[in-house]
Amino acid sequence: MPPNINQENNLPFKNEEVSTSSFFLEIAKFTVISILIVVPIRFFIAQPFIVRGESMDPTFKDGQYLIVDELTYRNDAPERGDVVVFKYPVDPSKYFIKRIIGLPNEEVYIKNGIVSIITSKNPKGIVLDEPYLKSISFENTTFVLGPNEYFVMGDNRSNSLDSRVWGALPVKNITGRVLVRLFPFQNAGMFPGKQTQ
């Protein structure tokens, strides 16, 4: 009687036994490889965050799940309009999400809620177009930024604890820019809230 033949490679079938120890060894290998891939990504490239509060409403709502790109700002400077996650300067154990309004060495001038940026090239100031705003506040103030400082504000201006209250954001506190909104699924997308000026 001829032996059983595997039709794909014409080799006789072998009765193979899978031992429990080899199964657990494979699981251990898979786990180690996963950790070696996921951990560096999680700590050095991208990080998940959940929005808490209403300071960025309507751009970002409470409970939305975001992925933050931690790699880009190692080579490129943050830009006006970027939505960033950062360590709160008053309490670095807390993370905030805000929009970059003022860049290093600029002057941010706010009058009746209208924001102007004054630079050496534009000493009269440029009024920002901010279509993302839900509400404005009507304070009048001026902030002068240093070489490594940013001015950040929430999109819900009347309900945001931001640079107007606690001052400039040091560049060292910036964790990264919002790369992806994952949840809710109907609002998922790349660079949500991105606004160039």
Give catalytic residue positions.
55, 98
Contact 149, 104 (CB under 8 A): yes
Nearest to 54 by CA among 152, 162, 180, 159: 159
**Beta carbons within 8 Å of 70's beta carbon, 6+ residues apart:** 44, 45, 46, 47, 175, 176
Cross-strand partners of 14: none
Structure tokens at 33: 């490889």
Q: For residue 121, give Cα distances in angstroms to 1, 30, 78, 100, 160.
A: 93, 57, 20, 20, 30
| Burial category of 150 from C-beta neighbours within 10 Å (exposed 0-12, middle 13-18, buried 19 and up) | buried
